[in-house]
A and B are shown apart, each in its own frame.
Chain A
């Protein structure tokens, strides 16, 4: 019983990180209709920017994270303007190639600037705490609360605000959105901004429990792709649910079946869900 609660908590933590990364990915998919392979690089840069702020200027963790959200968000916008926007009339394969190119470029760039070494991000929340007989650190609790808070805010933004609805409208029908007078360029930039910001939040929250290094994007990006396929490409609730499903499968699978097979279990689940619902859990176009 003890181990079960502990593992449920572990699954929740890892699921929160996965969901946040997958959310950014799924938003951009809704707009561009291509998987943004460079999203993992944005995640990595998010962690580096936060870390640099904290080490170089001694800025507090939360402020550093806010700066990072802004910087990486703007980088996302820049990516849209410089790469994806000029390619909007090109066949989809060009976007994919461009995205992979961005990924390689950003990784090499990070290695050039920050070096290849592993770095640790020390936060003021390293204390070990005991909740209902399970062990956690404050940072882990923060990951869970932070992720859920961000998800609620995002949901409210998309459903309750005018700007949010334009994003949904554009994801549902690009031409239709243009016809009713939505500035699609502006919405695309906004989506990239949010997507980059989400990556930065996910990275800044999870970096203290792991390490910061140029290849860290690979840890999450492949899983994020699995999640958005599982949840339905472009679906926001799908990304959230998919993230937690994967997190729990990993932690419980590793405990009760075998750790060596935990990836197999996760992918088997993907196969099963896709055979029942071929378009993913939430297959509706848009959100």
Chain B
């Protein structure tokens, strides 16, 4: 009797897990589509057409879910557009894309497991991931298992490791150190307090910026990270950071909590400037602070909506039509990357040979039509990093001012 009960329980548990799996899949589908039609279904294929699966593993639930969704939206938009235009052709064979997205909850180990699953079940030549931890986890085995990583992170270490099958999509944050430091020192002063996010990315950013700041004659009066997934209130931390009257606050992380930190610093009477890590976007921060006034004196990366690359306006319009909001740079970069990968596949004459695709990335960049250039990427470096001309934005008198950086 007992055994019967036990086995019944196990059966129910198994059924629950299966159901949980279903729920999981559904939520990734709906989130990727903003609730309209289902996404992971194969595209409409006419006779003679073949489907190429593209993998994605990112945070689609948990605190970083919003970020994950926006990266996936960029890919979805690109894939749908390519498919609706009849796919692409290599040697007379027409191909269409099918995007398979899995949730990794921002955890590197889950990304690795997802990547294995994508390879086994869907045979994906390219897997995108929008966080450095997951990318590094995949780099452990991507050369053996032979797939390309579409790495959306500004972490320079991802490409410095010399992985042959990694393409880093956004510019590395190395390039920001000098202009950020110069701007903040010229406009505000030499005393900086650092309040970065507690992620690996935030710590690496801080470790790069702090020595550079001191090299330029600056002083770091406070340095401690904020864990946005654990702290309910930032007042304590911000109070401590402001104790030494810094001229500049170095903040960063997801846009919205970062903006909250900035707002609380203003409430506590801080009047200096902010250096904003590249993960946070000034326009998204504005939605929390209410106006740019509170962010006066900030220096950060240019929000996509303030950029003027040839394809930017068209992209913003398309994105708005589909998702009902303005896109951020993560959506823009993913859109560009997906299109570049397609051009590279055409140039390589193969959809399933990652090495050949990687070797033809430069051709892909050159072939990218102007109207798709949400960002203009000039070249791909030896190590696999896209190089985009840096454009920065500062907030002055309640308005965004873009600043060009000479190389």
Q: Which of the four size classes fits the interface of chain B? A: 35 or more
Chain B residues numbered 357-375 whose CB sits less than 8 Å from any CB in chain A: none
Of B69, B235, B256, B264, most buried by chain A (CB within 10 Å of CB) is: B235
Given A118-B257, A120-B256, A218-B229, A10:B62 Cβ within 8 A: no
Given A108-B23, A214-B65, A250:B224 Cβ within 8 A: no
Residue of A nearest to B16 (CB): A101
Chain A residues numbered 80-129 whose CB sits less than 8 Å from any CB in chain B: 101, 104, 107-108, 111-112, 115-118, 120, 122, 128
Cα of A103 to Cα of B30 in the assembled complex, Å: 20
Q: Which of the four size classes fits the interface of chain A? A: 35 or more
Evaluate contact between A215 and B239: CB separation under 8 angstroms. no
Evaluate contact between A116 and B31: CB separation under 8 angstroms. yes
Evaluate contact between A137 and B236: CB separation under 8 angstroms. no
B219, chain A: closest CB distance, angstroms: 19
Chain B residues numbered 232-266 whose CB sits less than 8 Å from any CB in chain A: 232-233, 235-237, 239-240, 243, 254-257, 260, 264
What chain B residues lie within 8 Å of A158 (beta carbons)?
none
What chain B residues lie within 8 Å of A254 (beta carbons)?
236-237, 240
Q: Mark A3-30, 1 if CB is under 8 A from B, else 0.
A: 1001100110110010000000000000
Q: Mark A201-232, 1 if CB is under 8 A from B, else 0.
A: 00000100111011100111000000000000
Pair count A-B, CB < 8 A: 106
Cα of A254 to Cα of B240 in the assembled complex, Å: 8
- The reply to whether the CB of B27 lies closer than 8 angstroms to some CB of chain A is yes
- The reply to whether the CB of A259 lies closer than 8 angstroms to some CB of chain B is yes
Residue of B nearest to A137 (CB): B267
A4, chain B: closest CB distance, angstroms: 11
Cα of A102 to Cα of B23 in the assembled complex, Å: 14
Evaluate contact between B30 and A219: CB separation under 8 angstroms. no
Chain B residues touching A, majority SS: helix
Evaluate contact between A120 and B287: CB separation under 8 angstroms. yes
What chain A residues lie within 8 Å of B287 (beta carbons)?
120
Residue of B nearest to A2 (CB): B243
Of B60, B236, B239, B256, most buried by chain A (CB within 10 Å of CB) is: B236
Cα of A111 to Cα of B30 in the assembled complex, Å: 10
Evaluate contact between B66 and A116: CB separation under 8 angstroms. yes
- The reply to whether the CB of A255 lies closer than 8 angstroms to some CB of chain B is yes
What chain A residues lie within 8 Å of B260 (beta carbons)?
120, 210-211
What chain A residues lie within 8 Å of B230 (beta carbons)?
218-219, 263
Given A116-B69, A260-B224, A128:B229 Cβ within 8 A: no
Cα of A112 to Cα of B35 in the assembled complex, Å: 9
Residue of B nearest to A94 (CB): B9
What chain A residues lie within 8 Å of B235 (beta carbons)?
10, 13-14, 140, 209
Evaluate contact between A135 and B269: CB separation under 8 angstroms. yes
Cα of A102 to Cα of B287 in the assembled complex, Å: 32
- The reply to whether the CB of A235 lies closer than 8 angstroms to some CB of chain B is no
Residue of A nearest to B267 (CB): A128
Evaluate contact between A13 and B233: CB separation under 8 angstroms. yes
Cα of A101 to Cα of B19 in the assembled complex, Å: 12
Residue of B nearest to A213 (CB): B63
A75, chain B: closest CB distance, angstroms: 19
Evaluate contact between B27 and A108: CB separation under 8 angstroms. yes
A86, chain B: closest CB distance, angstroms: 14
Residue of A nearest to B226 (CB): A259
Evaluate contact between A259 and B237: CB separation under 8 angstroms. yes
B225, chain A: closest CB distance, angstroms: 7
Evaluate contact between B257 and A215: CB separation under 8 angstroms. no
- The reply to whether the CB of A251 lies closer than 8 angstroms to some CB of chain B is yes
What chain A residues lie within 8 Å of B232 (beta carbons)?
14, 17, 206, 209-210, 219-220
Evaluate contact between B233 and A209: CB separation under 8 angstroms. yes
Residue of A nearest to B256 (CB): A118
Cα of A117 to Cα of B287 in the assembled complex, Å: 12
Of A101, A135, A206, most buried by chain B (CB within 10 Å of CB) is: A135
A271, chain B: closest CB distance, angstroms: 19
Among candidates B16, B257, B267, residue contacting A135 with C-beta atoms closer than 8 Å? B267
- The reply to whether the CB of B61 lies closer than 8 angstroms to some CB of chain A is yes
A74, chain B: closest CB distance, angstroms: 24
What chain B residues lie within 8 Å of A116 (beta carbons)?
31, 60-61, 65-66, 68-69
Evaluate contact between A111 and B236: CB separation under 8 angstroms. no
A180, chain B: closest CB distance, angstroms: 35
What chain B residues lie within 8 Å of A122 (beta carbons)?
290
What chain A residues lie within 8 Å of B231 (beta carbons)?
219
Evaluate contact between A111 and B27: CB separation under 8 angstroms. yes
A3-B240, A120-B260, A215-B229 known, 15 other contacts, Cβ within 8 Å = A6-B239, A10-B236, A13-B235, A111-B27, A115-B66, A116-B69, A118-B254, A118-B288, A122-B290, A211-B257, A214-B65, A219-B231, A254-B240, A258-B224, A260-B225
What are some 16 contacts across the A-B interface (CB < 8 A)?
A10-B235, A107-B61, A115-B66, A117-B256, A118-B256, A118-B257, A135-B268, A137-B267, A140-B235, A209-B232, A209-B235, A214-B61, A250-B236, A254-B236, A255-B239, A263-B230
Closest 5 CB pairs of A and B: A116-B65, A118-B256, A259-B224, A215-B63, A251-B236
Binding site for A on B (CB under 8 A): 16, 20, 23, 27, 30-31, 60-63, 65-66, 68-69, 224-225, 229-233, 235-237, 239-240, 243, 254-257, 260, 264, 267-269, 287-288, 290
